[in-house]
Amino acid sequence: MHIKQLVFKKYRVTLKPITPIHVWSGVKFRMWIDLIVKHEKVCLVDTENFPVEVVKALISSKLEDIPHVMSKYIDTIPCKLEIPSISVPKMWSEVLELNKYVVPGSSLKGYIRTALLYTMLSSLGTTDAIRDTLRKGIDLGKEPKNMSQGLEAGFFRTPQPVKQKGFVDAFQELIVSDPVVEAEQTCYSLRELLVYEIPLMKQIASQYAITFDCGKLIYDIKLLEPPIRDLSALSPVDREHHNVLNKLSLLLRVDLIDALRAFGCNTIEKELNKII
């Protein structure tokens, strides 16, 4: 069966930055090795198209002399990308590369998961009910990335039938594409990101990074049709699969757009309240 026949709902989501965005690609650049200042902009050098004379000069140079070679041949060095620099890093400074998708589809899917979790917790009503659920679902003894596994399992996962192994997850039914990035080169910049401790607003760290400041990220989101939507139609033999089918149809019973709107607005409000 073609995937188009399995799609129950489709969304086209466009994200626009309201502040500079940085999601690290995992690559670190070095100033005056990978990046140079050229024409009052920062140039990401195109090493694949270096002139032969530059290649020969670099090969015969020591590591510490490379910045001087780059400076000498600066007018002939090609750029993959030229971006404005809010602040120019010193020689040898590390600069974090921006993910080519800016915010990958997997990151947006994780954000949707968190937004829906927020919505479902909020629907519990009383503060005591929410607190009890959090206490049962969060294990502070685990690593931070694994603390909420119990909480997520309670809302989104259920075990397979006895003869099968593992779990099913409601988000198996959600497919989020990597985005189409629509942006001019002027939408990228190199800036120093500062980390502050609040409420004292004491600077505790800084890092140079390439950021995404304007433009659009366009995603396709598909919600797949669950195997069975009307659980009352299950035969007695199939009823052991009730929990599985119920969990797989979870996303059909919520409004993802409302969940994203509520969570996003709440997050922005909370962050602003920390510094205002």
pLDDT tens for each residue of 240-273: 566 777 777 888 888 888 898 999 999 989 888 8
pLDDT value, residue 2? 46
Task: Quickly state the pLDDT bin for 72 (edges 50, 70, 90).
Answer: very high
Q: What angle, rounded to 10 degrees, do the helices at 149-156 and 105-122 form?
A: 80
Which residues have a Cβ under 8 Å from the Cβ of 198 and sit 6 or more positions away?
274, 275
d(CA 105, CA 178) in angstroms, rounded, equals 4
Beta strand ranges found along the chain (DSSP E): 7-15, 24-30, 35-38, 41-45, 79-83, 94-98, 157-159, 167-169, 174-176, 180-182, 188-197, 202-212, 216-224
Task: Give the per-residue pLDDT at 215.
Answer: 96
**Tokens 């140039």, located at residue:** 43
Q: How confident is the model at residue 1 (pLDDT cuts 50, 70, 90)?
A: very low
Question: How far is 188 from 9, CA to CA, in rounded Å?
Answer: 33
pLDDT tens, residue by residue, 156-194? 888 887 677 788 888 988 999 999 999 998 899 999 999
- Dump pLDDT digits (tens) for 13-52: 999 998 999 999 999 999 999 999 988 899 999 999 999 9
Q: What is the mean pLDDT of residues 94-99?
A: 96
Q: In Å, how far are 60, 160, 161, 193, 263 from 166, measured between CA atoms?
A: 57, 6, 9, 42, 30
Mean pLDDT of 82-103: 92
User: Cα–chain-centroid distance for residue 44?
Assistant: 23
Check if the beta carbon of residue 231 is closer than 8 Å to that of residue 242. Answer: yes
For the beta sheet containing 41-45, the strands, ordered from the edge strand earlier in sequence to the opposite edge, are 35-38, 41-45, 79-83
- Does residue 4 have a pLDDT over 60? no
Which ranges in 98-175 belong to alpha helices (H)? 105-122, 127-137, 149-156
Q: How far apart are CA 56 and CA 170, in angstroms?
A: 57
User: pLDDT tens digits for 190-249?
Assistant: 999 999 888 888 999 999 999 999 999 999 999 887 655 555 555 555 555 667 777 778
Residue 147, both tokens? 């603390």
Query: Contact, 139 vs 149, CB < 8 A?
Result: yes
* Identity of residue 61: S
- Identify which has the larger pLDDT, 128 or 28: 28
